[in-house]
Structure 1
Amino acid sequence: MSGAHAPAVVFDAVTVRYADSPAPALRSASFVVEEGELAVVAGRTGAGKSTLLGAVNGTVPHFTGGHLSGRVTVAGLDTRTHRPRDLADVVGVVRQDPLAGFVTDTVEEELAYTLEQLAVAPTAMRRRVEEVLDVLGIADLRDAPLSDLSGGQQQRVAIGSVLTAGPRVLVLDEPTSALDPAGAEEVLATLSRLVHDLGLTVVVSEHRLERIVGLADHLLLVHDDGTVTDGEPAALLATAPLAPPVVHLGRWAGWDPLPLTVRAARREARDLRTALETSTPPPGPAVPAPPAAAPVLLEGLGISVRHGDVTAVDGIDLGLAGGEVVALMGRNGSGKSSLLWALHGTGPRSAGAVEVRAGDTTVDPSRESPAQRRRHVGLVPQSAGDLLYLATVDAECRQADHEARAPAGTARGHLDRLAPGIPGDRHPRDLSEGQRLALVVAVQLTAAPDVLLLDEPTRGLDYPAKEALTRLLRRLAEDGAAVLVATHDVEFAAGVADRAVVMAGGAVVADGRARDVLCDSPAFAPQVAKVLSPQRLLTVAEVRRAFAAPPSADGARDLGGAGGGAGGSAPYPVLGGRR
Structure 2
Amino acid sequence: MITFDQVTVEYDGADEPVLREVDLTVEEGELCLVVGHTGVGKSTLLGAVNGLVPHFTGGTLYGTVTVDGRTTADHPPRELADVVGVVGQDPLDGFVTDTVEEELAYAMEQLAISPAVMRKRVEETLDLLGLADLRHRALYELSGGQQQRVAIGSVLTAHPRVLVLDEPTSALDPTAAEEVLAAVTRLVHDLGVTVLLAEHRLERVVQYADRVIHLPGNGLVVSGAPADIFTTSSIAPPIVELGRAAHWSPLPLSVRDARRAAAPLRTSLAAAAPPPPVRPVPETPGPALLTARGVTVAYRGVAAVREVDLDLRGGEITALMGRNGSGKSSLLWALQGSGPRKSGTVRVSSGKAAGSTKGSDPKSLSAAEARRLVGLVPQTPTDLLYLESVEQELDQADAESAVGEGGGLSARAILDRLAPGIDGAAHPRDLSEGQKLALVLAIQLTAAPRVLLLDEPTRGLDYRAKAQLVAMVDELAAEGRSVVISTHDVEFAARAADRVVVMAEGDIVADGPTTEVIVASPVFAPQVAKILAPLPYLTADQVASVLPEEEAGA
TM-score of the alignment, normalized to the shorter chain, above 0.5: yes
Cα contact 2:129–2:179 (8 A) shared by 1: no
1:372 CA drift (Å): 2.4
Cα contact 1:14–1:28 (8 A) shared by 2: yes
Cα contact 1:329–1:500 (8 A) shared by 2: yes
Q: Matched residue of 2:448: which SS? A: coil
Q: Matched residue of 1:15: which SS? A: strand
Distance in 2, matches of 1:381 and 1:142, equals 24
State which drifts further: 333-342 or 101-110.
101-110
Distance in 1, matches of 2:496 and 2:209, equals 28
Q: Matched residue of 1:238: which SS? A: helix
Question: Partner residue of 1:576?
Answer: none
Q: Matched residue of 2:159: which SS? A: coil
1:46 CA drift (Å): 2.0
Aligned pair 1:394/2:387, yes or no?
no
Cα contact 1:207–1:463 (8 A) shared by 2: yes
Cα contact 1:499–1:512 (8 A) shared by 2: yes
Quick one: which of 373, 377, 383 aligns to 1:376?
A: 373
Q: 1:111 to 1:375 in 2, by over 3 A?
A: closer
Distance in 2, matches of 1:395 and 1:204, equals 36
List per-residue Cα deviations over 1:305-356 (Å, max 9, x = no partner): 1111111111111111111100000011111111111111111111111111
State which drifts further: 404-413 or 515-524.
404-413
1:152 CA drift (Å): 5.6
Cα contact 2:275–2:537 (8 A) shared by 1: no
Distance in 2, matches of 1:416 and 1:143, equals 46
Distance in 1, matches of 2:323 and 2:485, equals 14
1:144 CA drift (Å): 4.3
Q: 1:142 to 1:301 in 2, by over 3 A?
A: closer
1:443 CA drift (Å): 1.4
Q: 1:406 to 1:123 in 2, by over 3 A?
A: closer
Distance in 2, matches of 1:63 and 1:524, equals 39
Q: How does 1:27-42 map to 2 (within 5 A)?
A: 27-42=20-35
Distance in 1, matches of 2:516 and 2:342, equals 32
List per-residue Cα deviations over 1:252-271 (Å, max 9, x = no partner): 00000001111111111001
Aligned pair 1:308/2:300, yes or no?
yes
Question: Partner residue of 1:359?
Answer: 351
List per-residue Cα deviations over 1:166-193 (Å, max 9, x = no partner): 3211001111000100110011001111
1:223 CA drift (Å): 2.9
**Amino acid in structure 2 at the alignment position of 1:496:** A
Q: 1:166 to 1:338 in 2, by over 3 A?
A: closer
Q: 1:225 to 1:295 in 2, by over 3 A?
A: same
Q: Matched residue of 2:349: which SS? A: strand
Question: Partner residue of 1:416?
Answer: 416
Q: How does 1:80-479 map to 2 (within 5 A)?
A: 80-98=73-91, 100-105=93-98, 107-126=100-119, 128-129=121-122, 132=125, 136=128, 140=132, 143-145=135-137, 147=139, 154-281=147-274, 291-292=283-284, 294-361=286-353, 362-406=359-403, 410-479=410-479
Q: 1:419 to 1:12 in 2, by over 3 A?
A: farther
Distance in 2, matches of 1:505 and 1:132, equals 25
List per-residue Cα deviations over 1:454-476 (Å, max 9, x = no partner): 00000000000000100111121
1:298 CA drift (Å): 1.1
Q: Matched residue of 2:457: which SS? A: coil
1:233 CA drift (Å): 1.2
Count of paired positions = 540
Distance in 2, matches of 1:160 and 1:176, equals 13
1:401 CA drift (Å): 2.3
1:153 CA drift (Å): 5.6
List per-residue Cα deviations over 1:66-99 (Å, max 9, x = no partner): 2111111111211000111111111111223435
Question: Partner residue of 1:74?
Answer: 67
**Amino acid in structure 1 at the alignment position of 2:334:** A
Q: 1:323 to 1:548 in 2, by over 3 A?
A: farther
1:452 CA drift (Å): 1.0
1:128 CA drift (Å): 4.6
1:426 CA drift (Å): 0.8
List per-residue Cα deviations over 1:351-406 (Å, max 9, x = no partner): 11111111224221222223322222211111101111111011112222222233
Distance in 2, matches of 1:282 and 1:461, equals 27
Distance in 2, matches of 1:441 and 1:143, equals 36
1:479 CA drift (Å): 2.0
Q: 1:291 to 1:77 in 2, by over 3 A?
A: same
Q: 1:291 to 1:368 in 2, by over 3 A?
A: farther
Aligned pair 1:495/2:495, yes or no?
yes
**Amino acid in structure 2 at the alignment position of 1:33:** V
State which drifts further: 195-204 or 360-369.
360-369
Distance in 2, matches of 1:217 and 1:33, equals 11
Distance in 1, matches of 2:142 and 2:330, equals 17
Q: Matched residue of 1:358: which SS? A: coil
Distance in 2, matches of 1:205 and 1:497, equals 27
Question: Partner residue of 1:574?
Answer: none
Distance in 2, matches of 1:138 and 1:282, equals 40
State which drifts further: 417-426 or 229-238.
417-426
Cα contact 2:148–2:172 (8 A) shared by 1: no
1:11 CA drift (Å): 1.4
Distance in 2, matches of 1:102 and 1:324, equals 38
Cα contact 1:313–1:506 (8 A) shared by 2: yes
Question: Partner residue of 2:10?
Answer: 17
TM-score (norm 2): 0.92
1:151 CA drift (Å): 5.8
Distance in 1, matches of 2:108 and 2:449, equals 52
List per-residue Cα deviations over 1:220-266 (Å, max 9, x = no partner): 12233332222111111111111110100000000000011111111
Q: 1:141 to 1:486 in 2, by over 3 A?
A: closer
Cα contact 1:152–1:187 (8 A) shared by 2: no
Cα contact 2:162–2:195 (8 A) shared by 1: yes
Q: Matched residue of 1:306: which SS? A: strand
Cα contact 1:46–1:433 (8 A) shared by 2: no
Question: Where does the alignment leave 5 or more consecutive residues of structure 1 unmatched?
Answer: 1-7, 550-567, 569-579
Distance in 2, matches of 1:366 and 1:309, equals 21
Question: Partner residue of 1:558?
Answer: none
Q: Matched residue of 1:363: which SS? A: coil
